[in-house]
Amino acid sequence: MAFPETHRSVVLAVRSPDAQERARALEAVASAYWRPVYRHVRYRWRAREEEAEDLAQGFFAAALEKGWLARYDPARGRFRSYLLACLEAYVANEKRAGRRLKRGGGAFRVPLEGTDADGEPRELQIADGTDLEAEFQREWARGLFALAVDALRARCAGTSRAVAFALFERYDLEDHDAASRPRYAELATEFSLPVTQVTNHLHWARRELRTTVLEKLRAITASEEEFRAEARALLGAEPS
Amino acid sequence: MLSDDALDRLRQVTQWPDLTGTRYELRGELARGGMGVVYVARDRELERDVALKLIAVEAADADTASRLRREARTMARLEHPGIVPVHDVGELADGRVFYAMKLVSGKRLDELVEGGLPLRERLRVLLRICEPVAFAHAHGVIHRDLKPENVMVGPFGEVLVMDWGVAKHRPEPPAASGEAPATASPAPHATAHGTIVGTPAYMSPEQARGDVERVDARSDVYALGAILYFMLAGRAPGRPPASPDAPTHTWVRPRSMGVAPGIAAPHELVPDLPRPLEAICLKALALEPERRYAGVARLRSRALSGRRARVRLSGRAAGPRPPFREPASNANRARARVRRHARRAAAGGAGVTW
């Protein structure tokens, strides 16, 4: 599910009088929030995998149908907090009603890597006392960075920047412990480049990633103030 | 989907500052504190690695920017082997101030002590810490945040006092006495009364109260006493025990020294400690500045004697030991003499003359 290539806020676009634009905007919101919503349902409501998927799916469908997100008022707080409050109310209502319905033909279903690979429902492990709102925020950040990495990968593919992305993937994306993380000199040998080029490529890729994350962030925030506050929290950055 | 480690790393690398327009090239993050972040960077002009300190974006404002500049100037002014030299101050494209300093390799004192640094070596480090602090006092600068985490010990045993970000200044350098406990007079950038700066476990009572006017060299003496306490007892004064089995204390001995409540005497935590050192530590930790050493040089000379005493005491059979009390000041000594004679007179002691 692609993010719209625009800096316009999709959070505001969910109020558009144009039904198609509304649907596209909600799709973009769902792509950024699917995973945090799904995991929150699993953590907070102790839902099993399939049930959580249905509830997440149902939530986005109901949000479109009933215009919940269009009622968001940026003056009253962050969009993320509003969406979480809507989700809580929705799941509580569904649980009370004892419903567990398959929704809307998978319109907002986003595949979750690793959660259904073996086909068996798994319980997520969660420690007592976990701050669920912080967890929701972390998943939101993870989703946002993942979208930005995908966009960067797509932008570099087939261009002279492909090597920059390959270096970035090797050095920053792959999991290494401190001892096994490759040194710039080792990467230089591996990629047959001078060390200075390794430095330059990594610098470029990180800067591009930062720009892309900020673009995505601008799209899913409703006001300049919210955008800046989220950018500070996410990147420690005052966006330029 | 990104792993937790990858997410943390991406958040970190996208936070790295843009050094475009400077002579530095970022290499990595070195340390992160409450407000500041220290990076390793390459100075392209001089072809050497340096440490770059700047305020984290979330804490960046006009006040923290001026504080960082002040810290750089303080360190530049205090040219001493125990204080990291500052090479450069500048401003990034995003408006944040940074300064470049010598990249120090080594370990923090707290890590070394927790790693089992021998007592003799701990005392050597304490003596070395006293030197730049006394030097700073002689130049009208009070550190105000001395703690083991702010002391680096290099591979050749060199000791450096770091993080002068909350130092208090006198506008004009005083006479170089080193022992003058004179209160630093308010400067244009002085901390307002009631503002608390420092680290609670190592902070003097006057600092903890925000009694800025009373903060002077003896406040650093307190912090050095707290560092000695950490070296002897393995934890900061007043800090709860790390393990539930460790002894707990609610008051301090000897009470007559007027040490802050909640601080256990180190020997109660580590029974075979040399008592002279403990006495030095507790005197430095006195609640009232007047009851502490008047200056760092005095504390240092007492610690030096204490270290020698420790050597003399080593090998002595273990067993009950008499209380050891660090000599009081002349005034306190006179008061104690009066009390002693009064007690004897009250007891009807015959032939008492003085």
Task: pLDDT tens for chain A, 240 residues: list them.
Answer: 333 344 467 888 877 888 888 878 888 888 888 888 988 898 888 888 888 888 998 898 888 888 888 888 888 788 888 899 999 999 998 888 776 554 444 444 444 444 443 333 344 555 666 677 888 888 889 989 998 999 999 999 999 999 999 999 999 899 887 678 788 889 999 999 998 888 789 888 988 998 899 888 888 888 877 887 788 778 765 555
Partner A contacted by B20 (CB < 8 A):
no
Q: Give, as one character, the DSSP assignment of residue A173.
A: I
Question: What is the CATH number assigned to the segment(s) B21-102?
Answer: 3.30.200.20
Between residues A8 and B12, the one the model is more confident about: B12
B13 touches chain A (CB under 8 A): yes
Q: What is the mean pLDDT of residues B230-250?
A: 61
Give the model's confidence band at B239: pLDDT under 50 very low, under 70 low, under 90 confident, else very high. Answer: low
Residues 224-283 of B with CB under 8 A from A: none
Counting one residue from chain A and one from chain B, the pairs whose CB atoms sit within 8 A come to 61
B49 phi and psi angles, rounded to 5 deg: -85, 145
Helices (H), A102-194: 132-156, 162-168, 184-191
Nearest to A141 by CA among A217, A211, A52: A217
Nearest CA-CA distance, residue B14 and chain A, Å: 5
pLDDT of B195 reads: 56
- Parallel, antiparallel, or unpaired: how do β-strands B168-169 and B141-142 relate? antiparallel
Q: How far apart are CA B43 and CA B19, in angstroms?
A: 11
- Closest B-chain CA to A169: B6
Write the pLDDT tens digit of every residue in B77-120. Answer: 999 999 999 999 998 876 788 999 999 989 999 999 999 999 89
B334, containing H or E segment: helix B330-346
For residue B111, with 0-12 CB atoms within 10 Å meaning exposed, 13-18 middle and 19 or more buried, which class applies? middle
Least confident of A112-126, B4-18, B194-208, B229-243: A112-126
Are A35 and B2 inside 8 Å of each other by CB?
no
Query: B18 touching A, CB under 8 A?
Result: yes
Nearest-10 crossing angle of helices B296-313, B119-138 = 160
Quote the pLDDT of residue A114: 47
Q: What is the reported pLDDT for B296?
A: 95
Task: Tell which of A206, A214, A228, A234 to mutate to test the B interface (max B CBs under 10 Å).
Answer: A206
Using a CB-CB cut-off of 8 Å, the residues of chain B touching A213 are 14
CA atoms of B138 and B179, how far apart (whole Å): 8
According to the 3-state scheme, what is the secondary structure of A197-235? HHHHHHHHHHHHHHHHHHHHHHHCCCCHHHHHHHHHHHH
pLDDT band at B234 (very low <50, low <70, confident <90, very high): confident
Kindly list the strands in the beta sheet with B151-153, ordered across the sheet, starting from the edge strand earlier in the chain: B107-108, B151-153, B159-161
pLDDT reported for residue A79: 86
Contact present, B9 and A232 (Cβ < 8 Å): no
* pLDDT confidence band for B58 (50 / 70 / 90): low
User: What are the φ/ψ torsions at residue B84 (nearest 5 degrees)?
Assistant: -65, 130
**Least confident residue range of A88-102, B92-106, B239-253, B316-330:** B239-253
Which residue in chain B is spatially nearest to A150 when comparing CA positions?
Answer: B1
CATH topology of domain B107-168+195-323: Transferase(Phosphotransferase); domain 1 (1.10.510)
Q: Which residues contact B328 (CB under 8 A, 6 or more apart)?
A: B336
- Mutation pick from B10, B15, B64 vs chain A, by most beta carbons of A within 10 Å, is B10
**pLDDT tens-digit profile of A101-129?**
544 444 444 444 444 433 333 445 556 66
Closest residue by Cα to residue B207 from B131, B147, B278 = B147
pLDDT at B126: 96
Contact B195, B166 (CB under 8 A): no
* pLDDT mean over B274-291: 89
- Measure in Å the smallest separation between the Cα of B27 and chain A Cα atoms: 9
Q: How many CB atoms lie within 10 A of CB A35?
A: 20
**A51 and chain B: CB distance < 8 Å anywhere?**
no
Active site residues of B: 145
Q: What is the mean pLDDT of residues B256-260?
A: 53
Q: Which residues of B are less than 8 Å from A206 in CB distance?
A: 13-14, 16
On chain B, the residues whose CB falls within 8 A of the CB of A209 are 10, 13-14
Before B171, cis peptide (omega within 30)? no
Highest mean pLDDT among A44-48, B157-161, B316-320: B157-161
Of B2, B15, B56, the CB nearest to A142: B2
B205-229: average pLDDT: 90
Asked if the Cβ–Cβ distance from A238 to B60 is below 8 Å, we say: yes
| Rounded CA separation B306/B276 (Å) | 6
Q: Given pLDDT bands bounded at 50, 70 and 90, which one contains residue B72? A: very high
Q: Over 60: is that where the pLDDT of B40 sits?
A: yes
- Burial annotation A194-216 (CB, 10 A radius, 16+ → b, else e): eeebbbebbbbbbebbbebbbbb
From residue B89, alpha-carbon distances to B59, B70, B76, B100 in Å are 19, 10, 10, 6
Spatial contact of A220 and A32, defined as CB atoms under 8 Å apart: yes
Structure-block tokens of residue A179: 């001892």
Average pLDDT, chain B: 77
Domain ranges of chain B: 21-102, 107-168+195-323
Could B6 and A173 be called an inter-chain contact, meaning their C-beta atoms sit closer than 8 Å?
Answer: yes
Mutate one of A38, A124, A203 to test the B interface: name it (highest B CB count within 10 A): A203
Give the SS3 label for residue B267.
helix
Nearest to A234 by CA among A157, A150, A143, A161: A143
